[in-house]
Amino acid sequence: MQNLPSALVLKNGSIYTVDQNQSWAEAIVIRAGLIEYIGSNEGADSHTNPDSQVVDLKGKMVLPGFVDAHAHASQAMDLVGNISLYDGETLTDYIQSISDFVEKNPDRAFYRGSGWGDTFFTSLGPEKISLDNILPDRPIALISYDGHSMWVNSTTLEQAGINRETKDPDGGKIERNPDTGEPSGTLRETAFKLVEDVIPDHSLEERKNALMEYQKMAAKTGITLTHDPMLDTESITAYNELAGEGNLKMRFRGSITLEADQDIKTQVDLVVAEKEKNSHPYFQTLSAKIFVDGVIEGGTAYLLEPYAHRPDFRGEPIWGPKLLNDICALLDREYIQIHLHVIGDAAARITLNAIEHTRNENGKRDSRHSITHIHLVDPEDIPRFKELDIIGLPQPFWFIVDDYYDELALPYLGQERAGRQYPMQSLIDSGVVMASSSDFPVTIPFDPLIAIQTGITRSSVEKNEDRVLWPEERSSLEDLIRSFTYNGAYANFLEDEIGSLEIGKKADLIVLDQNLFEIPAGKIAEVEVLLTMVEGDVVYKGIEFPG
């Protein structure tokens, strides 16, 4: 063994492997980035030499590295050096944060930011006058926390040429004063494009710096693989440069966003070309992202039955059924995985129809197409996920009764639909692979341990913990862990390399300060990550790690 590189030996641990048998082990040996041995302490001794580093875990828990199967890592740039409204709890908080930022950064030609929520506004969203009072002469654009709405001031609208005569773009909406017809200050979905020339894009260096910051945050929460589901050319360039510089310290897979108003053949050709080009082990683009509809709070989700507050309106899909059928079949024909944003139950149905059409056109293959969010699904459509081998990408962080539920879900959906938001266990029971995620920066903090607790309890970790959203959909600890490990790897075609702790796999793992199986479910969010490792390299180590 003298010629082998030295090994790291972790002993006396509670190692939950997440293999097919849900096995436990005491020790794991890592050499040259791979798992050389996993099993008993005694068995590990035969893989140890004088150069080995041996760490006594003192019973600490070891898991495979977490996978965030849907997180906009490249949008971390919106959090770095821009206006952040994520901590605001009232409109007054928002105004104060914006005013403080402008006061501290008085010389900017334009301002951007993100993080506001619809909870504090009418269905028309926030109004421009609130921003005009702070910035009467320079443009400002603030993206909502969910990424589907934009709050702008009068200067932004004027410089973009948006006025009472401007028509809503396909798949988007300009909110208007109901009395005058003038734009009121909120843009929905594809209407963002109308102000692209007014608010310049982020620079390449800003994008790279933001991704570096994201990696630090992710490592601290135990995330070792993230699927970034809304990539554009500039973000791809940032990823590739970081990869070439050796500055990607975790794995990324990504989806390239497609637009319903652009030629589908041209877009598919681009995705195919990028898939061939982006081949770094830590960054690849394997899939295409399609927004089938919008969001409930913006009135842009596509529903089977009308909105409760608008009895003549069900919303509209961004991609109509025929166009969705065509693009899905074309992508699948080129062996491109499809990553579909779906909120409303009507959007879910036309998406399932599109995947069924795709299978009829191209035959059954290992496509691993996925549907993310799964906000509302008609019960009759639940079995179709498994029948079509669709992977579900839920966000268990959202499985709670909170202000969103009280002030948006209830009035927009009514009691019956609001009470059956976010199915998960019924999909697991039907055999669907569920790969959990955060949808960062929609969700902050994005610690998977918070989501694991929430998926088990279906209640908030902070307040209203006695209020439970759809208790029949509670999932087990085993299923939640698997959804953040093996299933996430599977969703990204990496289950043979990572996702479980088995001999020959890459050493992507984490160490926790407590065994999740030995504490109450309501305490899981308090557990700390002590160590995060990617392919044998330590990317985060807490001060309490025993080694």
Q: How far apart are CA 53 and CA 546, in angstroms?
A: 12
| Residue extent(s) of CATH 3.20.20.140 domains in the chain | 267-277+286-491
Say if residues 192 and 150 touch (Cβ distance below 8 Å): yes
CATH class as words, domain 7-65+505-541: mainly beta
Task: From first to last of the 547 residues of the chain, give the pLDDT tens digit.
Answer: 345 678 999 999 999 999 999 999 999 999 999 999 999 999 999 999 889 999 999 999 999 999 999 999 998 887 778 899 988 888 999 999 999 999 999 999 999 999 898 888 888 899 999 999 999 999 999 999 888 899 999 999 999 999 999 999 988 899 999 999 999 999 998 898 899 888 888 899 999 999 999 999 999 999 999 999 999 999 999 999 999 999 999 999 999 999 999 999 999 999 999 999 999 999 999 999 999 999 999 899 999 999 999 999 999 999 999 999 999 999 999 999 999 999 999 999 999 999 999 999 999 999 999 999 999 999 999 999 999 999 999 999 999 999 889 999 999 999 999 999 999 999 999 999 999 999 999 999 999 999 999 999 999 998 767 899 999 999 999 999 999 999 999 999 999 999 999 999 999 999 999 999 999 999 999 999 999 999 999 999 999 999 8
The pair of structure tokens assigned to 365 is 């293959």
Residues in the chain: 547
pLDDT at 35: 99
Q: DSSP secondary-structure letter at 409?
A: I
Q: Which strands sit side by side in the sheet containing 61-64, from one edge to the other?
A: 24-25, 14-16, 61-64, 509-512, 529-534, 537-541
Of 432, 423, 490, 429, the closest CA to residue 455 belongs to 423
Q: Which pLDDT score is estimated for 5?
A: 72
**267 Cβ neighbours under 8 A, 6+ residues apart:** 258, 259, 288, 327
**pLDDT at residue 244, as a whole number:** 97
Whether the bond between 441 and the residue before it is cis, its omega within 30 degrees of 0, is: yes
Residue 517, phi then psi, degrees to nearest 5: -80, -5
Task: In whole angstroms, give the CA distance from residue 94 to residue 91.
Answer: 5
Distance of CA 490 to the CA centre of its chain: 16
- Name the CATH code of domain 267-277+286-491 (choices 3.30.420.40, 3.30.930.10, 3.20.20.140, 3.50.50.60): 3.20.20.140
CB 476 within 8 A of CB 54: no
Q: Where in the chain is the domain with CATH 3.10.310.70?
A: 75-195
CB 112 within 8 A of CB 82: yes
CA distance linking residue 97 with residue 115, whole number of Å: 11
Q: Where in the chain is the domain with CATH 2.30.40.10?
A: 7-65+505-541
The answer to whether 241 and 208 are in contact (CB under 8 A) is yes
Distance CA 86, CA 76 (A): 13
239, 274 in Cβ contact below 8 A? Answer: no
For 225, what's the count of Cα atoms within 13 Å in the CB-facing half-sphere? 34
Domain 75-195, CATH among 3.10.310.70, 3.40.50.300, 3.40.50.1220, 3.30.450.90: 3.10.310.70
| pLDDT score at 2 | 43
| Residue 415 CB-density burial (10 A; 0-12 exposed, 13-18 middle, 19+ buried) | exposed
